Every structure is written in C-alpha cells, then in structure tokens.
Amino acid sequence: MTHTILIAGYGGQGILFLGQFFAYLGMFNNMHVTWVPSYGPEMRGGSANCSVVISSEDIKFPIVKNPETVIIMNEPSYKRFKDKFSPRYKIINTSLVSPEFDNSTVGIPASKIAENLGNVRTTNMVMAGCYVEIIKDLDTSKVEEILKNLLREKEHLLDINLKAFEAGRRYIGGKEWKELQKG
C-alpha cells in the first residue's frame, strides 16, 4: 500500500504542519514515510506546498510526481495544480476555492468548519480528518499523541486541533458530503 499526497496553499495555513502530521501518522502505522516541503522565501502569505509518501514498502524516490491525492487550501494553489495531475482524490477547501467538480473532486468548506469551531487556523486539521476518512486504511488511534508531539510548544492548541480533525472526519462520514456526492 502506498499513499502519495501533495498539499498546497499559502504560508500560514499550516501546509507544512499538515505534511508533518501525515508523515507521523504513517510512522505510527509502521509505514515508511517521506516529507518534502517547498515554500517561497516570503513564507507567511507566499505559496507553500509539500509532498508526503506513506508506504508499506521502501520508498525509492521521495518526490511525488503524480500524487494519488491533492489537498488544495486556496485559489492560487488550485489554479496552479488543477490541471497538473490526475489524482484519485482532489480534496478542495471550498471556503476559499470554487473548483470545477469532477469524479475525483471532494469539496469541503474546511475554513468555515474551523472558524465555527473557534479557530480558522485549524483548517489544516479539518482537511486531515477529511483525508483519513476518505482513504480509511490508516489507524488514527494515535492522533492525539502525534498532535502532542507536533504542538510541543503550543499544547494549549491540542483540544481545538483534535476537534477540527474529528469535524473533518464527521463531515465526510456524514450526510452533508454523501448528499453532495449524489448530485
């Protein structure tokens, strides 16, 4: 089993954090992982993306050339990557992007969900919950432990990030998304 993920947005949206989260999730599932960040010199507000490979086999090449999943957090990233790949899943933050829907597009109003939880900066974890609910083959029992590790200096943000992760899972597992998929 191999999962290849490209995550794209702008600096400040937690793009690299989300990539690290997926890498840790893979490690906690006893998988091989790579995480390759890429961002402009301006960081916050500039473009940022990263690729993650999670595999049950050795990873021979860490760069993702044709990702299985593309997670898009903003409109400029959508425009940049929408025609570049043919992924199995395009998970799009529809709070900030108006995508063209096709069979691979999964729209989730992630920023709106995070804002309703009380912290729009947890949009990345809403997207994480969405992703794991769609692929359904990664054990998520260690998510709290992973987030404690990643949020060492910001432990006060643990609960809101856990709530955001679960909100993304519930959205995909719930009626809202299933109704959208019928149309």
Give average pLDDT by consecutive 10-residue segment, the chain, 183 residues: 94 92 96 88 71 94 90 94 90 95 93 96 97 94 95 91 96 64 45
Q: What is the pLDDT of residue 155?
A: 86
Encoded amino acid at 147, one letter: L
Sheet holding 89-93, edge to edge: 32-39, 47-55, 2-10, 69-72, 89-93, 105-108
How is residue 92 written in tokens? 């799009």
- The CATH number of whichever domain residue 168 belongs to comes to 3.40.920.10
Find the domain containing 8 and state its range: 2-182
Q: What is the pLDDT of residue 86?
A: 87
Report H helices in 4-157.
Answer: 15-28, 75-81, 110-117, 123-135, 143-150
Q: Which residue has tokens 């290849």?
A: 4
Count up the domains in the chain and report the number: 1
Q: What is the pLDDT of residue 183?
A: 42
Q: Helix 110-117 and helix 158-173: axis angle, to 10°? A: 130
